[in-house]
Amino acid sequence: MSQCLFCKIVRREVPASIVYEDDDLLAFNDINPQSPTHVLVVPKRHIATLNDLQPADDPLVGLMTRRAAALARERGLAESGFRTVFNTNRDAGQTVFHIHLHLLGGRALGWPPG
Ligand code: 5GP
Ligand code: ZN
């Protein structure tokens, strides 16, 4: 997936403000933040959308989810609250086709989303 933007960020071919890394995941600040905290948690391995997840990916998705919660806790958001979002395909406004979990927090977030 040589042309994928988030694969390029994983390979350090595109710069990003990285806040967490391990063998499986990278997390970095969104370039166009929608809240005081807006972090994207991505798997290092390319997966285009949630529609492409396989049963073997369940542990990876668990790691993504728990990492988002840990990053929220580090930022003091565990009690006040935060939102985690996967956008999938056109109607949800997915623009980067490498799955990413948005972590949003630091302000009151409206519901339902637009
Ligand atoms: P989506 O709309 O696909 O759910 O979210 C894609 C997100 O990636 C958007 O929030 C957008 O601001 C962010 N984004 C797009 N290009 C870049 C980039 O080059 N660097 C970073 N850090 N975020 C990006
Ligand atoms: Zn990718």
pTM of the model: 0.98
H helix or E strand, kind and range, residue 43? strand 37-43
**Which residues line ion ligand 2, judged by CB < 5 Å?**
1, 4, 6-7, 46, 98
Burial class (CB in 10 A: 0-12, 13-18, 19+), 85: middle
pLDDT of residue 1: 73
pLDDT at 2 over 90: no
d(CA 51, CA 95): 15
Q: State mean pLDDT over 51-78.
A: 98
Summarize pLDDT for 15-56 with one digit per residue, the tens: 999 999 999 999 999 999 999 999 999 999 999 999 999 999
What is the number of the ligand closest to the CA of 40? 1
Give the closest residue to 83 by CA, choosing from 27, 34, 28.
34
Summarize pLDDT for 93-105 with one digit per residue, the tens: 999 999 999 999 9
Burial class (CB in 10 A: 0-12, 13-18, 19+), 31: exposed
What is the number of the ligand closest to the CA of 52? 2
Residue 78 Cα, ligand 1 centroid: separation in angstroms?
24
Nearest Cα residue to atom 1 of ligand 1: 94
Active site residue 46: no
